[in-house]
Amino acid sequence: GEALYTVMDRCCGPDLVDVAAGGALPPSSVRALGRQMLLALAAVHGVGLMHRDVKPENFRFRDAAAQTLQLLDFGFAKPAGSQPARHTVTGTLLYAAPEVFDGLYC
């Protein structure tokens, strides 16, 4: 029979909460992190998905060298354009966009 496998990278580095706990970062580091975050989201959207739980804890470095940031936890991900259940808010409320609460997202 057929078998279905899920393959994931092992990410052992800090997440963005850990990084922030270490104190202020220089502007160049913040720009580099922001760029990696945006590229990750663009890649997700590029394959037709909405992550729906973007938060600092879901961005983690691949290893302790803290060079490559990865977006994790696709448990709430849905195909872009799919209709959510009415009056249902998913993800972490603290990081949800205002339009999520107004029902103006897809």
Is the pLDDT score of 7 beyond 90?
A: no
Q: CB neighbours of 9 closer than 8 A, spacing ≥ 6?
A: 62, 70
- Please identify which of the residues 15, 53, 73, 102 carries the catalytic annotation: 53
- Tokens standing for residue 90: 């998913």
Residue 84 in any domain: the answer is yes
Instruction: Round the average pLDDT of the chain to a whole number and report it.
Output: 85
Active-site residue, 102 included: no
Report the predicted TM-score, pTM, of the whole model to 2 decimal places. 0.77
| Residue 7 counted as domain residue | no
30 within a domain of the structure (yes/no)? yes
The CA dihedral of 61, 66, 69, 75, to the nearest 10 degrees, is 10
In a domain, residue 6? The reply is: no
Decide if 42 is inside a domain: yes
For the segment 21-34, the average pLDDT, to the nearest whole number, is: 94
Q: Find the domain containing 65 and state its range.
A: 16-101
- Is residue 48 included in any domain, yes or no? yes
Number of structural domains (the chain) is 1
Under 8 Å between Cβ of 65 and 91: no
With respect to residue 79, please indicate whether it lies within any of the assigned structural domains: yes
Q: Is residue 1 part of a domain?
A: no
* Confidence band for 94, pLDDT divided at 50, 70 and 90: confident
pLDDT digits (tens, 9 = 90+) for 37-60: 999 999 999 999 989 899 999 999
Q: What is the CATH number of the domain that holds 83?
A: 1.10.510.10
The band of 75, judged by pLDDT with boundaries at 50, 70 and 90, is: confident
